[in-house]
Amino acid sequence: MLRSLTGLAVIALAALLYYFADARDVPVASEALAEDLPPLIDLTNDEANNISVFEASSPSVVFVTNTQLRRRRFSLNVMEIPKGSGTGFVWDPSGLIVTNFHVVYGANKITITLQSGNSYEAEVVGATPEKDIALLKIDAPDEELVALPLGDSSTLAVGRKVLAIGNPFALDTTLTVGVVSALGREIKSMNNRTISGVIQTDAAINPGNSGGPLLNSRGELIGVNTAIFSPSGASAGIGFAIPVATVKSIIPQLQKYGRLYRPILGIETLSDSWASRLKIKGVVIFAVKPGLPAAKAGLIGVREDIRGNIHLGDIIIAIDGEPVTDEDSMLSLLENHQPGDTVRITCLRDEDITEYELTLAPPDAEL
C-alpha cells in the first residue's frame, strides 16, 4: 500500500513540475530524457534510401479516376458515377500518363489528379488489353509533370529491393517496400491473353495500386504494378508487375497507332473451345483472306465437299519451330516479329505435316 501511495505521489509531483515548467517555457524532465534518445535523423542506410526514393518519385505518381455514364431508372436522366480508381505515373513531360488498361476500361471520363492536387481530364492515346497497358494524355503545366527515370528490368535478380508507390483503397501516395520474389512469371490479361516475363514481388500491392510504378533502389522505373494473387482481394505478399522493357516497346506503338502493332498472317481461326472439343492442339484455320500472306503461301481453311461434308484445312502447330498450342501462343510468337519479316509456319493437314514460308503483313493490310 505504501509503495502504491509513493508511486502516485511521484506521478502527481511530475505532473505539477511539467505544468509549471511548461507555463514558464523551460526544460522539463521529459525533455531531458528525450535528449538521451537517438535523434530522428539517425536513419539506417535502408531507411534513408526509402525516404529518398519516395520523395523523388512521388511527384510523378498520379491518381486515376474512372467515371462512367448511367441513366436513372425512372427519370432516364444521365448521370456520372465513379466506376473505380487506380494509379498512374508521368511517362514524359508532354503530359503522357501510363496506367493499366483495366483501370480505365469502359470509362466515359478519366480524371488525373496530380501531386499538386490539381485535376485534369485525360484523353486515351492508345491502349492494349493484351498487355494491360493504357497511355493517356493530359494538358497540364510543365512544372507539374515530373517523369520517372527508366530503369532496366533485364538486370533484375531475385532478392533485389523494390518499392511500390500507389493509391491503395483510394489512400493517396502510399509506399510499400519488398523484394523481387521471382522473374519470368505469366499472368492472364482481361482478354485472356498471356502476359509473359512478369515480375513477382512481395511489396504490398492492393486494389488501387494498379497502374502504379515499381521502382528499384535508385528510384528508376522497373515495372508497372498490375495484379495481385489473393483470395481475399487484398495483398497476400504475391504481386505482379509488367517489366519496363515491355512497356518501353509498347508505348511508341500506342503513340503512333493507338494499339499494339502486331503483324498478321491474314487468317480467320476457329475458337480455342472448338479446337478443344475436336481434341486438336494448334490453331485451326477457318478461312484465309485473299491477297494476304497465308493465302499467297497456299494455306487453306475449312472447306465443304460436293456432298456437303466438312473438312478441316490447315492447323498451325508451330512458328519458326516454336510450338503453337492455341491462339494465345500463336499471337505471342507473332508479337516477336515486325511486318515484312519472313516466318516458317508448320501446319498439319489431313495427317500430313507441311511447312510454309511467308512474309508477315502489317495489321492495316486487312482493312
The closest alpha carbon to 165, from 118, 224, 119, 112, belongs to 224
Determine, yes or no, domain membership for 28. Answer: yes
Average pLDDT of the chain is 83
Determine, yes or no, domain membership for 293. Answer: yes
Task: Specify whether the backbone of 138 is left (phi greater than 0), alpha (psi in -120 to 50) or beta.
Answer: beta
* Same domain, residue pair 136 and 165: no
* Same domain, residue pair 157 and 234: yes
Q: How far apart are CA 109 and CA 107, in angstroms?
A: 5
Task: Specify whether the backbone of 132 is left (phi greater than 0), alpha (psi in -120 to 50) or beta.
Answer: left
**Domain count within the chain:** 4
User: Kindly report the CA angle at 103 between 226 and 205, in degrees rounded to 5?
Assistant: 35
* Same domain, residue pair 236 and 295: no
Range of the domain at 196: 153-257
Cα–Cα distance list, 331 to 263, 288, 344 (Å): 9, 16, 15
Select from 109, 144, 179 the last residue of a domain.
Answer: 144
Q: How far apart are CA 222 and CA 161, in angstroms?
A: 11
- Which of 57, 132, 153, 235 is labelled catalytic? 132
Tell me, yes or no, if 132 is annotated catalytic.
yes
Determine, yes or no, domain membership for 344. Answer: yes
Q: Which three cell numbers stand for residue 297?
A: 503461301
Cα–Cα distance list, 1 to 8, 145, 216, 345 (Å): 11, 67, 60, 93
Contact 311, 282 (CB under 8 A): no
Q: How far apart are CA 103 and CA 241, in angstroms?
A: 14
* Same domain, residue pair 96 and 170: no
Contact 11, 18 (CB under 8 A): no
Q: How far apart are CA 303 and CA 305, in angstroms?
A: 7
Residue 81 clears pLDDT 90, i.e. is over it = no
Q: How far apart are CA 106 and CA 114, in angstroms?
A: 22
User: Kindly report the CA angle at 292 between 322 and 128, in degrees rounded to 5?
Assistant: 65
Select from 208, 224, 257 the last residue of a domain.
Answer: 257
Tell me, yes or no, if 232 is annotated catalytic.
no
Q: What is the pLDDT of residue 232?
A: 58
Tell me, yes or no, if 102 is annotated catalytic.
yes
Q: Tens digits of per-residue pLDDT, 20-47?
A: 444 334 333 334 444 554 555 678 899 9
Residue 165 clears pLDDT 70, i.e. is over it = yes
DSSP-derived 3-state class of residue 131: coil
Residue 13 clears pLDDT 50, i.e. is over it = no
Q: How far apart are CA 100 and CA 58, in angstroms?
A: 18
* Same domain, residue pair 138 and 204: no
Instruction: Place 107 in a pLDDT band, splitting at 50, 70 and 90.
Output: confident
Residue 124 clears pLDDT 90, i.e. is over it = yes
Determine, yes or no, domain membership for 74. Answer: yes
- Which of 57, 60, 85, 102 is labelled catalytic? 102
Q: How far is CA 319 from the centre of its chain?
A: 28
* Same domain, residue pair 272 and 362: yes
- Which of 85, 181, 189, 210 is labelled catalytic? 210
* Same domain, residue pair 94 and 128: yes
Determine, yes or no, domain membership for 173. Answer: yes
Q: Tens digits of per-residue pLDDT, 253-281?
A: 999 999 988 899 999 998 888 888 888 89
Residue 1 clears pLDDT 70, i.e. is over it = no
